[in-house]
Amino acid sequence: MTTTISVVKAWAIATKVELGYVDDNNMTNSCNFDSALLFPGQNLPCFPSGMSRDKENIEVHKILTKMFYFSETKISSIRERAKVDNSSSQGVGLSDFVDCLSNSVQTAVDYSSVVLSLEKEGQTLLSQELGELLKSLASPELCFVGLFTSWCKFPLYEADFGWGNPIWVSGANIPMNNTVILIDEKSGGGIEAWMSLKESDMKEFIKHNEVKDVMDCN
């Protein structure tokens, strides 16, 4: 997403310069596509989408994408619940899940700094980790593997090509099973969660009382 935003911003600047809306001499282009210097190509395997290229129609794969909206008020409510919800009667409480997720993110951040500092050895470690991830996605022992990505805090609504800022930015309807994309709403208060599940799983998911309590579904 960082690369995508950089491209869009540079494209918007170039467009406004071409239209004469801004002076090229007063514009700075912060685009810097030098990540290959840090991570040279290693012929890594492609990330599996779970779909064959000759069958990309969502009707064939029976995967449904819905947008679930978390208002600012509901987000605050969830945060308050996470502070106290540690009931041993449902197994793992919400606060346990938050702690687990936070620790995982911190581990990933720490690991990334190690990978960057080790240069070629770090690239090898990255390749090995990707290989392990691909194995887990194909493992029959795992009952569920979900892919989550957050586009929050990115300046998605700042791209002005000369006719104003976007009214609404959304994810494309890509039928990848068990995938969630988080996007800030334009005001920055709420969050849109774009979720793709098998049709049968989606029907069961939206019936869950917890989902009804905290989300608006579209």
Q: What is the pLDDT along the chain (218 residues), one digit of tens a residue?
A: 888 888 888 888 888 888 887 766 656 655 666 767 766 665 655 555 555 544 555 566 688 888 888 889 888 888 888 777 665 557 667 788 888 888 988 888 887 777 777 777 777 777 777 777 767 766 667 666 778 889 999 988 888 888 888 899 887 766 778 889 999 998 878 999 999 888 888 988 888 766 666 666 55
Which residues, 6+ apart, have CB-to-CB distance to 171 below 8 Å?
A: 151, 181, 183, 194
Which pLDDT belongs to residue 108? 81
CA angle, 61 then 62 then 68, to 5°: 120
| Cβ neighbours around 156 below 10 Å, total | 20
pLDDT at 184: 92
Predicted confidence at residue 160, as pLDDT, reads 86
Round to the nearest angstrom and report the end-to-end CA distance of the chain. Answer: 24
Strands 63-70 and 191-198, by their bridges, are antiparallel
Q: What is the pLDDT of residue 40?
A: 64
Backbone φ and ψ for 77, nearest 5 degrees, come out as -65, -40
Pick the CATH number of 34-48+62-217 from 3.40.50, 3.30.559, 1.10.1200, 1.10.3470: 3.30.559
- Give the separation between CA 212 and CA 99, rounded to whole angstroms: 24
Both tokens of 216, joined, read 């608006």
User: CA angle at residue 187 from 205 to 151, to 5 degrees?
Assistant: 55
Q: Enumerate the domain spans of the chain.
A: 34-48+62-217
Its pTM stands at 0.74
Q: Measure the CA–CA gap between 90 and 16, rounded to whole angstroms.
A: 55
196 close to 172: Cβ distance less than 8 angstroms: no
Token pair for residue 67?
């947008």
CA distance 99 to 105: 10
